[in-house]
Amino acid sequence: MSTSRPTPDFDKIRADFPRARTAAYFDNASSHPLSSQSANVLRRYADWLEHDVGEPWWPAWAKDRDEAQHLFAQLINADRTEVAFARSTVEAESNVLNGMGEHLAGGNIVTNDLAYGSILSNYKMRELDGLEVRIVRHRDWQIDLDDMATAIDENTRLVSVALVSNVNGLVADVRALSELAHAKGALLYADIMQAAGGVPIDVREMGIDIAACSTFKWLMGVKGYGFLYVRADLQGTIVKPSQHGGGISLNYEPWRAPDPEKPDITFGSSQGPAQYEISYPSYEGALCAQESLRYILDLGVDNIRDHARQLTDRLHDELPRLGYQGITPRDNGSPILSFITPDPAAAMDRLRAAGVHVAMRFGNKMRISPSVFNNQDDVTRLLETLS
């Protein structure tokens, strides 16, 4: 969601991330470091676990967890009643698909080859059960809307894309894709793992029906905790819960003096987003998400994106001169960009020796993903190392 906050002092922000002192760390699309504020929350929690654990299992648990989900809803312009906690992106999407059996039956899913690999694999496994999966191929590392439009037809039940691709940071035109999907009665799922916290998201304006992410990338949190967004009217109707938890009441002896007005056994599914929430979530994850979401909302996602853009623009312009061919469009708007690397092993050796961290993916694709704590000195260090 667009935030329009005053421009923060990014030098001060750098001081919140001790990782910036130990390296030129440009691999936030793999794992974002914690801020000192979030790390302190975890320390406090670990301290409590070590010395004071007992019921209630964290004194302000209900409030903290609720606030994390509320802040996430604010981040993506959803309602709190549309946000469940999740354990991971792929698990959340998998559960959603399991719960959409009736909607998907006899139909097809349209996606593309810049989506996350495990999600594509998840779809292909479902092909074995009769679901048709259409993977549109990129053209020169971009997704052609016409190609997607051709693949989407009356039988399409779900159009599924990464809002920001992990391959090259490409930002999908979800508004247009959502219109294409909805025109054929299909839903739009957005994998927002590489987007949430790094680029503005407005699920209403973008026409996103379902989305998921976990928190260890641009949400600056830890693994094992994330969020699932399901549009209110889809909950329990088209997207049914695919796992069941909840409570049970045994209305007989010796459990309790039976109430003759009530059945022997009473159980029921939860309502709202809680219907997708099973078991205890990670308290560490929720507390960390609460802290980091406060931090991100306070900075403003627009400001975060604009800061990264100054760094990605320079890399975009200067790395091709050093022989690295970019595969990310210039005005793409995400904090991720990738380059074909002539000699990946040698480049990684030099970067490691210089304390510069990037990712090398798919053999020779160098992915660089600056965040709030990176500055132009970091970019200079990277460019000098590769020149």
Ligand X SMILES: Cc1ncc(COP(=O)(O)O)c(C=O)c1O
Torsion sign (Cα): 239, 244, 245, 251: positive
In whole angstroms, the minimum distance from the beta carbon of 353 to ligand X comes to 26
When the beta carbons of 107 and 198 are compared against ligand X, the nearer one is: 198
In whole angstroms, the minimum distance from the beta carbon of 214 to ligand X comes to 3
Q: Are 283 and 46 in contact (CB under 8 A)?
A: no
116 touches ligand X (CB under 6 A): yes
89 touches ligand X (CB under 6 A): yes
> What would you measure as the largest C-alpha separation in the chain, in angstroms?
82
166 touches ligand X (CB under 6 A): yes
332 touches ligand X (CB under 6 A): no
Among positions 17-76, residues that touch ligand X (CB under 6 A) are none
For ligand X, the binding residue among 161, 162, 239, 366 (CB under 6 A) is 162
Instruction: Provide the 3-class DSSP secondary structure of residue 287.
Output: helix
Neighbouring CB atoms inside 10 A of 54's CB total: 6
Q: Are 129 and 177 in contact (CB under 8 A)?
A: no
For ligand X, the binding residue among 16, 191, 277, 291 (CB under 6 A) is 191
Long-range contacts of 139-144 (CB under 8 A, 24+ apart): 141/114, 141/167, 141/168, 141/170, 141/327, 141/328, 142/170, 142/329, 143/112, 143/114, 143/170, 143/172
CA gap 47, 293 in Å, rounded: 22
338 touches ligand X (CB under 6 A): no
CA gap 303, 217 in Å, rounded: 17
214 touches ligand X (CB under 6 A): yes
How many residues line the site for ligand X (CB under 6 A)? 11
371 touches ligand X (CB under 6 A): no
In whole angstroms, the minimum distance from the beta carbon of 91 to ligand X comes to 6
Place of tokens 């992915």: 367
Stretch that binds ligand X, among 58-66, 88-96, 237-245, 288-296 (CB under 6 A): 88-96
For ligand X, the binding residue among 88, 156, 338, 374 (CB under 6 A) is 88
CA gap 169, 335 in Å, rounded: 7
In whole angstroms, the minimum distance from the beta carbon of 359 to ligand X comes to 10
In whole angstroms, the minimum distance from the beta carbon of 234 to ligand X comes to 21
In whole angstroms, the minimum distance from the beta carbon of 225 to ligand X comes to 9
For ligand X, the binding residue among 226, 281, 285, 370 (CB under 6 A) is 226
In whole angstroms, the minimum distance from the beta carbon of 323 to ligand X comes to 27
For ligand X, the binding residue among 35, 38, 194, 375 (CB under 6 A) is 194
Place of tokens 């604009």: 306
Q: Are 174 and 199 in contact (CB under 8 A)?
A: no
Binding site residues, ligand X, CB under 6 A: 88-90, 116, 162, 166, 191, 193-194, 214, 226
